[in-house]
């Protein structure tokens, strides 16, 4: 998949949505009853939506999904976006849903994402910060206004199986079988969940990821510049995303939830140095035995004559 156009990358919050009440009718009033945090990196996206308040609107619905994105320029200078979901909260979380997700990711990895009906036409309505964009669908049945709360990177996209984690500066979003959440990284390095489509009780709590840092693989466009630093986090282009907490029993955690053991590629220099030390010790023993002569009582230095 080619990276998406730069105007789309970042973190977005939705101001409102308007829908047509009946086929062919005018769009209804602005509805802001759903909180939305959508994060788009050059390689992937995650979109988390849940009602702002329980029972506020009968139309408010919880949605969450992630995958890859295609962008196109229209003949009249507009912007068209296709979102190809590869994991979705509405999909069965059992074996059937897992197979569906695996097939979608396989198609995306091959550069031929599955077809989608999730298509948006974008128009910039405010160029000053924060940028505002209006989205409509090809059939004219809805209108959404988006505010770009993060316009620049660094960006990072990580996969573990069918799960996808995306980061744009200090904002993150996760779509996995265990959790569909989004939030921000605090100044102290903690990852705080702000929106949860899977369990609202987790909002305000730290994010805990399955596995260990090295289990989360950077997508191709990110992988060339990503370093797994044991002491700090994922390093990308001079910036660093601090590690969240991890569940992996293979990596002991410190008091901040960071792994104590270095990642595999960071262990190589240590083992190389250990090997050199052992070889030097063996060489010293061999040399000592060569310059010492045998005796009835063991090895001793030969006497001068």
What pLDDT does residue 170 have?
94
Rounded to whole angstroms, the Cα distance separating 26 from 21 reads: 7
User: In the structure encoding, which two tokens stand for residue 75, read together?
Assistant: 């003949």
Q: Looking at the structure, do residues 229 and 88 belong to the same domain, yes or no?
A: yes
CA-based angle 201:202:205, to the nearest 5?
130
Per-residue pLDDT, 261: 46
- List Cβ neighbours of 262 (8 Å cut-off, separation of 6 or more): 230, 270
Confidence of residue 95 (pLDDT cuts 50, 70, 90): confident
Counted domains in the chain: 2
* Averaged pLDDT of the chain: 84
Higher pLDDT, 251 or 61: 61
Write down the pLDDT at residue 262. Answer: 47
Share of the chain above pLDDT 90, in %: 59
Task: Tell me whether residue 234 is in a domain.
Answer: yes
Q: Which residues contact 155 (CB under 8 A, 6 or more apart)?
A: 9, 41, 42, 166, 167, 168, 222, 236
Task: With a cut of 70, say whether residue 222 has pLDDT above it.
Answer: no
If you write DSSP's letter for every residue of 123-171 in order, what string do you get? EEEE-SSSPEEEEE-TTS-EEEEEEEEE-S--EEEEEETTEEEEEETTE
Of 8-12, 14-18, 85-89, 255-259, which gets the smallest average pLDDT? 255-259
Calculate the alpha carbon distances from 275 to 36, 126, 282, 283 in Å. 53, 61, 11, 12
At 255 the pLDDT is 38
Same domain, 162 and 286: no
128-140 average pLDDT score: 95
Q: Is the pLDDT of residue 232 over 80?
A: no
For residue 250, pLDDT beyond 60 = no
Domain range for 30 is 10-246
pLDDT band, very low/low/confident/very high, at 169 (cuts 50, 70, 90)? very high
226 plus 276 within the same structural domain: no
Q: Which two tokens stand for residue 27?
A: 């769009």
Tell me the residue length of the chain: 305
- pLDDT of 188 over the 50 cut: yes
Looking at the fold, whether 91 and 59 belong to one and the same domain comes out as yes
276 and 240 both lie in a single domain: no
Lowest-confidence segment of 31-45, 213-227, 232-246 by average pLDDT: 213-227
Taking 50 as the threshold, does the pLDDT of residue 47 lie above it? yes
Q: Are residues 184 and 288 part of one domain?
A: no
Report the C-alpha gap between 107 and 158 in whole angstroms.
17
Residue 282, token pair as written in the block:
């063996």
d(CA 289, CA 278): 17
Rounded Cα–Cα distance for residues 189 and 199 (Å): 23
* Residues 238, 207 share a domain: yes
Residues 177 and 291 in one domain: no
95-117 mean pLDDT? 94
Write down the residue that tokens 């005018």 correspond to.
26
What average pLDDT does range 250-273 have in this prediction?
Answer: 50
Mean of the pLDDT values across residues 166-185? Answer: 95
Phi (first) and psi of residue 216, to 5 degrees: -95, 110
Both 200 and 288 in one domain: the answer is no
Whether 257 is in a domain gets the answer no
Reply yes or no on whether the pLDDT at 257 is more than 60. Answer: no
Mean pLDDT on 278-290: 76
Query: Which residue did the predictor score with more confidence, 150 or 281?
Result: 150
Does any domain span residue 252? no
Mean pLDDT value of segment 26-45: 95
Please, are residues 246 and 208 in contact by the beta-carbon 8 Å criterion?
Answer: yes
Q: What pLDDT was estimated at residue 294?
A: 54
Same-domain check for residues 147 and 81: yes
Q: Based on the domain organization, do 226 and 273 belong to the same domain?
A: no
**Residue that the structure tokens 């408010």 belong to:** 60
Q: What is the pTM of this model?
A: 0.78
- Residue 299: pLDDT band (50, 70, 90) is very low
């Amino acid at each position: 998949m080619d990276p998406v156009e730069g105007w789309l990358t970042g973190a977005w919050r939705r101001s409102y949505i308007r829908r047509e009440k009946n086929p062919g009718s005018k769009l209804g009033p602005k509805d802001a009853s759903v909180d939305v945090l959508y994060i788009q990196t050059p390689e992937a996206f995650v979109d988390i939506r849940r009602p702002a308040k329980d029972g506020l609107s009968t139309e408010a619905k919880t949605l969450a999904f992630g995958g890859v994105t295609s962008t196109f320029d229209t003949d009249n200078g507009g912007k068209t976006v296709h979102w190809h979901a590869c994991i979705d909260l509405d999909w069965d979380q059992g074996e059937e849903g897992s197979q569906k997700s695996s097939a979608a990711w396989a198609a995306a990895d091959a550069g031929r994402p599955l077809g989608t009906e999730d298509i948006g036409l974008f128009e910039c309505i405010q160029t000053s910060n924060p940028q505002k964009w209006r989205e409509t669908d090809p059939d004219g049945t809805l209108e959404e206004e988006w505010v770009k709360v993060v316009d620049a990177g660094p960006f990072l996209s990580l996969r573990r199986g069918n799960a996808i984690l995306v980061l744009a500066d200090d904002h993150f979003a996760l779509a996995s079988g265990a959790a569909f959440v989004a939030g921000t990284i605090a100044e102290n390095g903690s990852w705080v969940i702000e929106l949860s489509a899977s369990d609202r009780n987790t909002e305000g709590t730290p994010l805990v990821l399955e596995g260990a840092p090295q289990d989360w693989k950077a997508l191709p466009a990110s992988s060339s510049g990503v370093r797994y630093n044991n002491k700090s986090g994922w390093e990308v282009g001079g910036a660093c995303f601090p590690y969240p907490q991890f569940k992996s029993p293979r990596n002991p955690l410190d008091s901040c939830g960071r792994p104590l053991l270095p990642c595999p590629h960071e262990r190589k220099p240590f083992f190389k140095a250990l090997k050199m030390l052992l070889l030097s010790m063996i060489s010293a023993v061999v040399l000592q035995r060569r310059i010492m002569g045998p005796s009835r009582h063991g090895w001793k230095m030969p006497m001068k004559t």
